[in-house]
Amino acid sequence: MPSNRSGSELDYVIPPEIKDDDFYKAIQRIAQEEDIKTVLEIGSSSGAGSTEAFVKGLRENPSNPVLFCMEVSKPRFTELRERYRQDSFVKCYNISSISLEQFPREDEVREFYHAHRTPLNNYPLEQVLGWLRQDIDYVREMGTSGDGIETIKQENQIEDFDLVLIDGSEFTGEVELDQVYGAKYILLDDICTYKNYTNHHRLLRDKNYKLIEQNASVRNGYSIFAKAGSHHSVGKSGQASTPLPIHFFTIVLNGEPFLRYHIDVFSKLPFPWHWHIIEGVAQLKHDTAWSLATGGHVSDEIHHNGRSIDGTTEYLDQLMERYPDQITVYRKPDGVFWEGKREMVNAPLENIQQECLLWQVDVDELWTTEQICKARQMFIDQPDKTAAFFWCSYFVGENLIVSSRNCYTQNPKQEWLRLWRFKPGAFWAAHEPPRLVQPSSTNQSNQSNNHEQDIASINPFLHRETEAQGLVFQHFAYVTPQQLQFKESYYGYQNALAEWQALQQQSEFPVFLRQHLSWVKDETLVEPADICGIVPIAQKEPDGEKWQFLQLEEFQQQTMKIERPFPQIVVDGVFFQFFPNSGISQVWKSLLEVWATNGFGNHVIVLDRAGTAPRIPGIRYRPIRAYDYNKTGADADLLQEICDEKGTDLFISSYYTAPLSTPSVFMAYDMIPEVIGANLNEAGWKEKHYGILHASRYIT
């Protein structure tokens, strides 16, 4: 029938995406080595990418499997069919995998876009929605059949395919997985975008499938799942040749309730792992001796004969019975304390006689299975890396987090160093902050010089690298009264419990943490987690007594309910610092008042320079130091740090400041200095010039 479409991208043949990379090689290996009969490829394009890998492998498979290729684009299908005309085992279908009614709604895509930081966010939302409309229009107007998967099954009397690749439309993956569920192998491409993000996480928690290979850093990521109980050789030529196990270690005394979270995460890991748990009381020596000066002491109320009193000891005994080959618990004899925390963390190292990743997981630090897999893959991809620093969402209440950076709990010089590349012989020189060292020796002029080398100082992944991969963990450090009682006695934090309880009653945010916790001295800020777009993995049950840990699906559902208004705009209120009573200041004040009432204020965070910005109810503020014309470079660095901290989409200055890379709008009040011939070499006018050069748009 006649088409009203104009220039659909589906009318063009495109270069292959899966081509000679790790996923291509894995596809070829599986197709060649596994005991399979029927293979379905959803999204074959013109056949030069993943299809080629399938065909190369299947030609060598003694079981003579059949490959069913699905491609909705007519031009791409035509080239696909021609390319494999001589291969009788390749069956090509110009068909849609799903019907029109099964495409997601625009609001579902919109919710995903705002809830998840994925490569899709590199494109404007309207462009992403345009792709959805384009796919729907193509299926409707070209008259291609829907329910293609079921059609192929019926025509070929197939109940379940042996091997399936889901790599079709960006928006059809979830329905496709429902229709191919039960396959012996399920391969997912683009697991970091809408296409297979949900599918990947669904299969991760599915006991009927096991993740056998994953790489989130190849294009938009891929993963390979095998049906539980099936025999396979996947990975023998790939990941299994370099397994890179992870050894986790945790020191614990009274680890309830958060200790119970970790085993569910570790047990789903698709590679070798071991968890070393060191239980007991650490004397206040070495790294922790500082707390003696503040009144810290080991109270009899926190232990029984040097062991936990909250059920931790019994739980660890159960874990050892369930996982005798993967969990080791280290304890002192009854009544004996550890000689400080340094002795505790060194205890497992003599049992680790292989190169591995060594991961510190404190009891209250919660990671996801996917995060651990991604971190490991980063070390596989870059074997020269020696350690990794991470940011965390630091909880100071059930729904309160530290929302600033470069401050208490968020010091990038030491926090949070949690992962090291370990070789036998390395040991802990310190625990607070952690310092893993390896003995090294040099021979110069026949003189032997033995010294210790800090492994993390050699070549670590830095915060920006790990954050870019979504590796920000949740740290529930100050969320229960028991935690505060312990810190009050053990570390000598005077009145810790009472001060923390007062913080929980706070209703106006953001607030300085130092206003409530007296041992905090800097400008650390606290805000509700939901305001910052964070869903706590650990949550109190409705009865308010027990804690529950969100499963992945629950976590995603709650995350999608948090509305993160787009765009997020940071406004530098620097004008109020210099000209608080001017007409322009009054205009800005009026703007903020209007935004606070019309809903636009939900998009805005005002940078309050040294407390000079007017307080408007309904407007969020972020305190920042006063602007100094003698330190403009440092100020630009600080602005960029704040933009990164807040996930800023757009920056607007009230008076010519600018970050380093976040897009900005330049607000020009006049060009009088330029017209009257003022000295444009003065610092203020230079900054105006830089602001003009940096800006993406201009308002006059």
Q: What is the pLDDT of residue 113?
A: 87
- Residue 254's SS3 state is coil
Token code pair at residue 377: 């893959």
Binned at pLDDT 50, 70 and 90, residue 10 comes out as confident
Q: How far apart are CA 150 and CA 156, in angstroms?
A: 10
* Residue 360 identity: Q
Q: What is the pLDDT of residue 459?
A: 97
With pLDDT > 90 as the criterion, what percentage of the chain qualifies? 68
Please tell me which residue, 450 or 632, carries the higher pLDDT value: 632
Please tell me which residue, 451 or 25, carries the higher pLDDT value: 25
Q: What is the pLDDT of residue 234?
A: 56
Q: Which of 367, 370, 353, 342 is nearest to 419 (CA)?
A: 367
> Over the stretch 202-258, which tens digit does the pLDDT of each residue have?
898 788 998 888 887 788 889 999 998 776 665 444 443 457 999 999 999 999 999
Q: What is the pLDDT of residue 552?
A: 76
Listed in sequence order, the residues at least 6 apart from 256 whose beta carbon sits closer than 8 Å to its beta carbon are 310, 311, 312, 315
> Over the stretch 301-349, which tens digit does the pLDDT of each residue have?
999 999 999 999 999 999 999 999 999 999 999 999 999 999 999 999 9
Find the mean pLDDT for residues 565-593: 94
Listed in sequence order, the residues at least 6 apart from 456 whose beta carbon sits closer than 8 Å to its beta carbon are 386, 387, 389, 417, 420, 435, 436
End-to-end, the C-alpha distance of the chain in Å comes to 51
Tell me: pLDDT of 447 over 50: no
Q: What is the pLDDT of residue 672?
A: 79
Q: Which of 291, 414, 409, 408 is nearest to 341 (CA)?
A: 291
Q: Tell me the DSSP string of 207-222.
A: TTEEEEEEETTSTT-E
Q: What is the pLDDT of residue 144?
A: 60
Q: What is the pLDDT of residue 284?
A: 93
Rounded to 5°, the CA angle 497-503-509 comes to: 165
Please tell me which residue, 241 or 39, carries the higher pLDDT value: 39
With pLDDT > 70 as the criterion, what percentage of the chain qualifies? 95
Tell me: pLDDT of 3 over 50: no
Q: What is the pLDDT of residue 622?
A: 86
Q: What is the pLDDT of residue 429?
A: 96
Tell me: pLDDT of 70 over 70: yes
> Over the stretch 503-530, which tens digit does the pLDDT of each residue have?
999 988 888 899 999 999 988 989 999 8
Find the mean pLDDT for residues 169-186: 94
Rounded to 5°, the CA angle 321-322-324 comes to: 65
Among 74-78, 313-317, 383-387, 558-562, where is mean pLDDT lowest? Answer: 558-562
Binned at pLDDT 50, 70 and 90, residue 445 comes out as very low
Q: What is the pLDDT of residue 545?
A: 80
Q: Which long-range contacts (CB under 8 A, 24 or more apart) does 408-417 make?
A: 408/513, 408/520, 408/521, 408/522, 408/524, 409/475, 409/477, 409/524, 410/524, 412/462, 412/463, 415/389, 416/389, 416/390, 416/391, 416/392, 416/473, 416/475, 417/387, 417/388, 417/389, 417/456, 417/460
| pTM metric for this prediction | 0.67
Q: 256 near 231, Cβ under 8 Å? A: no
Q: What is the pLDDT of residue 183?
A: 95
Q: What is the pLDDT of residue 30?
A: 95
Please tell me which residue, 98 or 257, carries the higher pLDDT value: 257
Please tell me which residue, 420 or 206, carries the higher pLDDT value: 420
> Over the stretch 633-671, which tens digit does the pLDDT of each residue have?
999 999 998 998 888 999 999 999 999 999 999 988 877
- Residue 71's SS3 state is coil
Q: What is the pLDDT of residue 442?
A: 45
Domains of the chain: residue spans and CATH: 9-240 (3.40.50.150), 242-540 (3.90.550), 569-699 (3.40.50)
Q: Write out 584-617 in H/E/C secondary structure.
A: HHHHHHHHHHHHHHHCHHHHEEEEEECCCCCCCC
User: How far is residue 649 from each of residues 194, 414, 453, 561, 660, measured CA to CA in Å?
Assistant: 21, 28, 41, 20, 13
Q: How far apart are CA 279 and CA 484, in angstroms?
A: 20
Place of tokens 């922790």: 288
Torsion of Cα atoms, 628 then 629 then 634 then 636, to 10°: 100
**Beta-bridge mates of residue 79:** none
Q: How far apart are CA 672 and CA 678, in angstroms?
A: 8
Q: What is the pLDDT of residue 7?
A: 65
Q: What is the pLDDT of residue 275?
A: 98
